[in-house]
A and B are shown apart, each in its own frame.
Chain A
Amino acid sequence: MNRIPTFRWYSDQSILLEWPAKIDESIHQEIMDWKHLLEEVYRDEIIELVITYNAILIFIKPEVDPSEFLKKLHRVEVKSGVIPKKPHRLIEVPVCYDTEFGIDLEHVAKVNQLKISEVIQLHTQPIYKAYFIGFLPGFPYLGGLDPRLATKRKVAPRKIIEQGAVGIGGAQTGIYPGNYPGGWNIIGRTPLSLFDVRMKQPSLIMAGDTIRFVAISKAEFELISIEIKAGTYTIENEMIYD
């Protein structure tokens, strides 16, 4: 299925491409195909692209005429299979689900009529896809949460949620990249840093990556934290060639 997105001006120097508004694997793949093509072919005109579930926002360089660029866009034809799929990474994210970190673990279990051990099992079982990064630096929008774990956001958000907190907000799951207020239900914590400006790639997770949560003990959490501080920890990941 090769849908053509709608094009529209958004601001003085940006163009928005939109697909039907839903969270859908095939739409996401089309978006990734378009993204790779645009970044490759229009490298000289584009500052960068921002993608979400069903859109691409193209920020155009100040010296480029957006009308001219829009004309070029209308002539673009993206066929899937023609652009070689870029490999993505499968990243293992270690999470300690100890109730000291998982302050809402009991609540999530109770609301969904599960045992705590079942919550952990259902959370660590899937391979999640990072559809895009947004909201906060390094924050991944993950798809694939088991519907049995969906838990409404808290009515009164907490003033501070610790960096690395792993949470469930409605039908979404994610990881807080810093200390921020939030209404998610916190079920664990990862010692990994999702965003670090000193790194060559500041965001740990990139759009298109897949991740798996792996349960670790408190002792392992402490050990990994020490290794990260010392710069000796290697994040488990593998390249997946589709």
Chain B
Amino acid sequence: MIKLLSSGLYTSIQDNGRSGFRSIGVPVGGAMDHNSMQIANALVGNSLNAPVIEITGSGPILWFETKSNIAITGANFDLTLNDQSFEMNQVMEIPPKSTLRIGNAKNGLRAYLAVQGEIKVPKVLGSSSLLQDVTDASVLKKGDSVQFKEKRLKESKDTNLTPTSLDHPILEVYQGPDYDKMNEAAQQKLAHGLFKVGRDSNRMAYILEYTGIFYAEEILTAPVQPGTVQLTPSGKLVVLMRDAQTTGGYSRVLQLTAASINILAQKRAGEEVQFKIIDLPSNTPS
């Protein structure tokens, strides 16, 4: 059992989300940096999409009642276990009645703590991911406890996953369904501009700030998904993330690749990104 002695900035349980309910307005949700979650699970020998603890910005203080093996991946956080420093990106043994202090990230924003075995969090609509109005809570708070069932697994899983880049400012994107609703000048600005992650960015959406306004008209409410970049008539540029709503009325000008969503999930307020538009495969079969 793990208990939160402090909550950290935004700590929650995430897995790969709940699929199959988008059509009733339920976002898939799940780990913001999906790649780091899978690497953490692979290290401890769990199935890749097993529930993990997602840590944001400033981490929690965790009390481990029983012994366990864990791995923490993602952003570079300061970690101390019982007053000794602790390594990221490898399996570490936690003795019973230990305190793990997760401090601040040196770079990157989110880390993923996988516990060898099974984190036992009730599944709602097929997933343990916390989400407002779907699960009882959307975050873990001080005093909450997380149960897990220890399984002695022999070795880390082999994957060809590479750590999410924390220093790369370039996001590969496709043209979105409403790319042509922008004029030529706006398209140029989007392709060559620098965009700064805004303070109000969260699990639902990242706000991108920039200079030299450009905009696109509203559209009839249409389907959207994580990674969709919306441009509003007032020039607001928004990247929808994991907990975003499933439909929207703003022009969808770009779509992040799956890898780019993970990279953006590690960007903090004030960090800059650029877009690199890559080709979509042809719509017409040869």
Binding site for B on A (CB under 8 A): 7-14, 16, 18, 21-23, 47-57, 59, 66-67, 70-71, 74, 132-139, 141, 177-178, 195, 197, 202-203, 206-207
CA distance A90 to B249 in the complex (A): 27
Please state if B255 and A10 are interface contacts (CB–CB under 8 Å). yes
19 A-B pairs within 8 Å (CB atoms) are namely A8-B283, A10-B177, A10-B255, A22-B220, A47-B20, A48-B20, A48-B21, A48-B22, A56-B223, A57-B223, A74-B284, A133-B24, A137-B21, A137-B25, A138-B25, A139-B25, A141-B247, A178-B133, A197-B124
Closest to A198 in B: B124
CA distance A56 to B247 in the complex (A): 11
- Report if B245 contacts A (CB, 8 A): yes
Q: Is the interface of B mostly helix, strand, loop or mixed?
A: loop
Report B191 CB to chain A, min CB distance, Å. Answer: 19
CA distance A202 to B25 in the complex (A): 10
Please state if B245 and A135 are interface contacts (CB–CB under 8 Å). yes
Please state if A136 and B222 are interface contacts (CB–CB under 8 Å). no
Report B64 CB to chain A, min CB distance, Å. Answer: 31
Question: Could you tell me which residues of chain B, from 229 to 281, have a CB within 8 Å of some CB in chain A?
Answer: 245-247, 255, 257-258, 280-281
CA distance A53 to B125 in the complex (A): 26
Extra inter-chain contacts (19) besides given A10-B176, A137-B24, CB under 8 Å = A10-B177, A11-B257, A48-B23, A50-B247, A52-B221, A52-B223, A55-B222, A57-B225, A133-B24, A134-B247, A135-B221, A136-B133, A136-B245, A137-B26, A139-B25, A178-B133, A195-B24, A197-B125, A202-B24
Q: Which of A11, A56, A67 has the most B CB atoms < 10 Å from its CB?
A: A11
Please state if B223 and A50 are interface contacts (CB–CB under 8 Å). yes
CA distance A147 to B24 in the complex (A): 27
Please state if A133 and B222 are interface contacts (CB–CB under 8 Å). no
A52-B174 CB under 8 A given contacts A67-B285, A133-B23, A137-B25: no
Closest to B283 in A: A8
- Report if B30 contacts A (CB, 8 A): no
Question: Could you tell me which residues of chain B, from 188 to 237, have a CB within 8 Å of some CB in chain A?
Answer: 219-223, 225, 227-228
CA distance A177 to B223 in the complex (A): 19
A9-B280 CB under 8 A given contacts A53-B220, A57-B225: yes
CA distance A139 to B22 in the complex (A): 12
Closest to A180 in B: B133
Please state if B124 and A50 are interface contacts (CB–CB under 8 Å). no
